[in-house]
Structure 1
Amino acid sequence: HRNLIIAAPVQALCQPIPQPAALRDSSLRLRLSETVSPEAIVEWLVENNFERVDAVDLPGQFARRGGIVDIYAPLTSGKVLVNSDEVDQSTQDAQAIRVEFFGDAIESIRQINLDTQRSTQEIRALDVVAAASGAVVEQRELFANILPAETIIIFEEPSDVEEVANVYLARAENAARLYAWADIYNAAARFAQLHICRFAAGAPEEFLKLEVQSIQQFERKATSLWAGHKAALEELVGRSKEGNAVFLYCESPAEVQRVKEIIKEIDRQVPRRFELPLGYVHQGFVLRSLNTIIVSHHELFGQYAVRRRQRPVRATAPVDTLADLQPGDYVVHASYGIGKFLGVETIDEKGGKAEYLTLEYADAVKIQVSVHNIALVQKYIGTSPKRPKLSKVGSKRWQKQKEKVAQSVRDLAAELLQVQAQRQAVGGITYGDDSAWQMEFEESFPYQETPDQIGAIREIKADMRESVAMDRLLCGDVGYGKTELAMRAAFKAVENGKQVAVLVPTTVLSVQHARTFAERFADFPVAVEVLNRFKTGRQAKDIVARTRQGKVDVLIGTHRLLSGDVAFKDLGLLIIDEEQRFGVEHKERLKRMRVNVDILTMTATPIPRTLHMALLGLRDISSLTTPPLDRRSIVTQVTAYHPELIRKAIYRELNRQGQVFFLHNRVQ
């Protein structure tokens, strides 16, 4: 590659890389019409640490179905067909491909659309690079040694770089296989270099001083967040009128439009020397010699747009097989009840062989279920962390349980119909369109919303504009952004003169929500209070009295909110967090509250697809299925106490500038 800019921390330069020749030699070469068996490709993938799955979804996975092999390669290069023309494809990151065979010959190579799992663009030739390339010491290389001779190396704060490298090597588990700072320094010596330093070091003729100043003076400087935004923007407008060129970089047309609106409120029109280009600047600066000020939208307004690739949500088909079942999982058979899935067995019978599911029940009784009757078996989904009790084959208990559940479902349906009829008759609160304050509140959110969040808040607001009271269930895992949506709904209700109650199951959660609500509502005249066991009797009495008088806009609390002495002057919205964790008595009070107020229920409990479909006609549901960017699965490791293991774990986290929370079972 030419005209390439590479930014890297010194820790990355310490890591050895595979030699180019080792990459070529260890790659999997795929060519149309080439003779190679699917088994040979699968063997290569397994040897190179690819994971076998049913459908590829992440780099490093592969799947095989007969004469089709899907590979999600972390690194590839090859030739693709564009409008029937063959085009060289440069090396690129993670790419999902499908290889189809006719016998032992490669019939086609195509890219895969991961959303549909269908093949798309045709590929003539492809090299899949092995993740373990260069594993042998002789095949490793220092990154600086493969750079072209005309490369320019820029060191930012060389003394700091050296210190970071030495600390990293001292803490690294495998320091012996890493390159020392001396190796990197000597390899870089043959290139032209530019050192960027805060303070000059050396002879005056060796450095060039730039009059670059910080733009910290224009960042938020008022206690009130929004007032600070407007004050800083007003100062920038004034500087542009004094002859300075001001460039305020925005990342979207919506940001540009909003800044223009604020400037027009301040000065009627955008000054001639005030530019609003589209682009991203990580950190602004002032060039005094050129009378130029460069600042970014996120520095001025505290909003950081996400700049990393987002993993898309896969719209999967309904599960109609047991491919997701693992031996040991609990299942439910329509006739026999709760059992344990042991696996699939092939049994000889008249006319050939057939596959059967083996299910274990109480007293070690085993039942064989033909795969043709797969519809009778479902995966067990329970709310209790305890293992379910296995049903007894031949007992009438399972049948009685089903009858009892059927009756409960009928009672619940009747109750839902009654409540819904009352809600239809009484009517709800009709809210208008978003106001300027609502938009300001939402734009002060410091992160970029996920597509699911945008869709869910649109549905919530549509419900609030209807004449019928809202009753919406908001589903999403922890950290998926449910609370932010609840706060936006609460803001809309408060702005229209209504009170909001936020009901949570635990005291800790009430404190957490109170802190979050207080921070988000800090710039607006919204009174937020919390009612829990941490409040003294006098404090609780005062909060209840002010709530009754309408002086509290948002009241957050545990089941204490359902006490008889708590009354609202004009309750418009009830937000319930994890309703399933409240008792029968509390739910009875909630039923009475549901009749004439908007209800938004939040839950982190995943809802099975079948249950979701069954509830669609009875209750409005919004699902947040898009995970936070770069979120990884939590790894829990249970081991005997070992100081060296703890030391390595802590150093690994410190090396990535992370944090460690050490929880001990006792204090001595």
Structure 2
Amino acid sequence: VVSRENTGWELDSFFRWYEKCVLNKYPKKTGPLSAEAAAITLLSVSINRDGLVVIISPNEKTASALYSVCYGLCPDFSFFLPEQGSPRGGVPGFVSESQRYIEESLSALSTKSRFGLIFTTNKALCGLSAPPVRTNDEEINVYIKKKKKMVDVLSFLDRWGYHQTDRVVNPLYYAVRGGIIDVFLFHSRNPVRIEYFGDMVESIRLFNPYSQRTIKKLKQIAFLPRLLEKQTTSESLFSFVSSDSSINIYSVERCGGGDYQILFNKEDGDVSCLKSENISKGVVNNALSENTKTTCVVFSDKPGDFTLPSYFPEKHTVQQVFGSIENGFCLSVPGLIVFGSKDLSGSHFNINSRWMVDGGHSGVASEIIDISDLGWGEPLVHEDFGIGIYRGLEKTGGNECVKLKYADGGAVYVPVYSFNKLHRLVGVSPGSVKLSSLRLKSWSRKKGVIKKHAKRIAKELLKNHALRLGSRGFLYEKEGDFYRAVCESFPFQETGGQLSAMQDVMSDMGKRPPMDRLICGDVGFGKTEIAIRASIRAVESGRLVFVMAPTTVLANQHYISFTKRFFPLGVHVELLSRFRTKTEQKKIIASVSRGNVDVLIGTHRLISDDVHT
């Protein structure tokens, strides 16, 4: 009989059970634990209690790693307090992610109704000043269908360091157009739009600053005071946290192998009580054979939407927890097996980054950003009627409409609910725009011809895509010890974009079709790190990696970067370019043919006829 529970646990119920049935047996110290096991342990001892818990890590990378897992599970309960770098406000108009993290954490510390987990380091606590404790009177709460004077909101924004602009794109800016306020709050990942009718708030919604599309409608929004430099106290944040009895402090240490150890009390001894293991067939089978009452849970957001590993016994009951973690773990002593996204067949783990704008940047160039952006006489394209000239707004049939004038003197009035049919005309110089006619059917004929061309191109693309989907003939192995060692040696904290790109690349490498992916990013944004991690996974799978660069100088830079990271692991990296003499090139090519090179970096010289693998 196959038993699979259709119902599941909410996160708070699971955390209560975890604390009662797992942690109560090991009250003093835990570890070594994986990042997911450590995060769940910290959330379980904290989430059902009042007050703040400060988690002090040995370095910022450790604090960030634990914060990322906790934020993915409980975003409203998790905060990150990084070490302060350059002075805040050093670059006009720019607000760094670090500054936003600091202000958000200090805001949580400064309120009387404190709650949540703050991940930080001793250096961060000693380098910042303590915030003054605030009262709720300093906040402004705006509710839908209730009165709140616009002047009060604008006065609040000016008082707390927000800057007025024409269009809101970055944090700490606001814009006003008639009865509409757009503001990008420092503690929000998306700007908010408040629409007024007199003093009455008609609507509140989060929106994408690039496409202007609504992300989520809200019933209320809270405007929190910022913590400016002049308002900090002379007391250090470390002293403030240590002396406040309502704040619990736990320490996290790193163990051998990159795992974590949690110390709930300073007097804890050196004996590790609770230990986690990574999920594997052997670990799971051993845990189930040693303890027949082992509890098995699956972290998945959607009810029943998961496929267990093929080696898992069908007769064993599995319960679902509505949440998402990347890697599962096993606690063999208390008898708990937790499956994460990477342990489930066909499951995809979504990276949750705190400040990544929802909705993406797609369609920015061709969409109408805002009516106020349109200029009189600007050419616009209507999907049904063609190219016309913008002639302002007019009220028709009780609706405010965009008026478009056409070649034969006709006009089209486009109501608000049909604005999605309007597009900017791109790729045509202003002097060569030819307006469409409403009498003739030239626009319809053009659309018909273009559709035929589009179908032909689509068929060719589908044919090429089908060829690309052919199997590469092998599968890359899962990320192993070398991959984890390379990740650990990265001296910086990965950005949200990096994590998302690496997740996509690793997913592609786990499939049979060849990878066909382009990674775009500005100079210094971390593209090379993605290539390094993809390369080491290929090397672990017994494959030879070619890294081709457009210039000799860039190839040499990559050679230095790859060698620095791979040499401690015994991975052989070579450079094939004009920086090598002909004799050296011959030796390298011979070494490649014998299978003695793991990663070969160079220019187009890599695809010369004399290079064989």
User: What interval of TM-score do these two structures reach, taking the shorter chain for normalisation?
Assistant: 0.3 to 0.5
Larger Rg: 1
- TM-score, with structure 2 as normaliser: 0.44
Greater relative CO (CA pairs within 8 A, separation 6+): 2
